[in-house]
Amino acid sequence: MTQDELKRAVAQAAISKVESAIADGEIIGIGTGSTANFFIDLLADYKNDIRGTVASSEASAERLKSHGIEVLELNNAGTLGVYVDGADESNHHLELIKGGGAALTREKIAAAASKEFICIADESKLVDRLGAFPLPIEVIPMARSLVGREVVKLGGNPVYREGVVTDNGNVIIDVYDFMIDVPRKTEETLNNIPGVVTNGLFALRPADVLLLGTPDGVKEMTR
Ligand SMILES: O=C[C@H](O)[C@H](O)[C@H](O)COP(=O)(O)O
C-alpha cells in the first residue's frame, strides 16, 4: 500500500469513530495536513448531518467550506465532541510532535477544547522516542533570536523556517538534534521562554486514541 492509501484508510476509520458524535449533534474539531485532508474529504458525505466543525487552520477551514461543511469560530462552539488530526510523530504513550505544517498553536487549542482527541497517522509516524522529527516552535517575530539562543542553551539546534508565517502572524523555529526524554517537561520548559507562543509537543494533552495505518489494516492504540 502507498502512504496515501494508509492515510486514507485511517481517515476512513476515524469517520466510523465520529459517526455517533455527528448523530449526537456534537461539534467536530478538524486538524490540518495531508492526513486530515483525507478525513475532511470523507466527511463531505455527512455535510447535511453535521451541526458544525471548528478548523485548526485557514487551509482546513477553506477545504471544509469547499465541501459545503459548516465551519464555526471556536469561541461560538463551546466544547468540541471530538478532535481529529494527524501528527508528525507519536510515541507509545500517544505523546506527539505536531506542527510540520505550521498549524501547531490552533491545533493545540482545538485539542484542548475537545472531549476526545483522535490522532490519525500512517505507521511511519510511530516512534520509540520523540525527536527525530525537528520540533516546531511558534514564536512572536521579535523574539526569534532570543528563543534561538535559549534553545541552544537547552541543547537543541534551532533553524528558522524561512518564508513561513503562521495563521497567527508568527514565525516557526524548528529544533533539530534535541533530546526529548521527558516530553511533558520539555513542552513546559520551551513554553516558558518569553516569545514562545507554543511548541509542537502534545504531551500535556496527548491523543486519547491513535489510529495507525499499516499494510495489515488500521491498528488502534489508546492511553
Ligand atoms: O501543522 C501541521 C500538523 O501538525 C499536521 O497534523 C502534521 O504536520 C501531520 O501532517 P501530515 O498528515 O501531512 O503528515
Distance 213 CA to ligand 1 centre (A): 15
Torsion angle (degrees, nearest 10) of CA 185, 186, 188, 192: 140
Low-confidence ranges of the chain (pLDDT < 50): none
Atom of ligand 1 nearest to the CA of 200: 4
Ligand 1 pocket test, candidate residues 3, 32, 57, 96, most atoms within 8 A of CB: 32
Name the phi and psi angles at 33, rounded to 5: 120, 180
CA atoms of 91 and 80, how far apart (whole Å) = 25
Name the phi and psi angles at 158, rounded to 5: -80, 135
Distance 56 CA to ligand 1 centre (A): 11
ipTM of the complex: 0.97
63-98: per-residue pLDDT in tens? Answer: 999 999 999 999 999 999 999 999 999 999 999 999
pTM > 0.95: yes or no: yes
Identify the DSSP state of 56: S
Catalytic positions: 107
Give the rounded distance of the alpha carbon of 210 from its chain centre. 12
DSSP SS3 for 103: coil
CATH superfamily of 135-200: ACT domain (3.30.70.260)
For 3-128+204-222, the fitting CATH number among 3.20.20.370, 1.10.15.40, 3.40.50.280, 3.40.50.1360 is 3.40.50.1360
- The predicted structure's pLDDT at residue 116: 98
Q: Any idea where the domains of the chain sit in the sequence?
A: 3-128+204-222, 135-200
43-52: per-residue pLDDT in tens? Answer: 999 999 999 9
Residue nearest to atom 9 of ligand 1 (CA): 87
- The predicted structure's pLDDT at residue 212: 98
Q: List the grid coordinates of 83.
A: 478532535
Residue nearest to atom 8 of ligand 1 (CA): 100
CA atoms of 207 and 11, how far apart (whole Å) = 15
Please list every protein residue whose CB sits less than 6 Å from any atom of ligand 1: 31-35, 85-88, 98-104, 107
CA angle 161, 163, 165 (to 5 degrees): 85
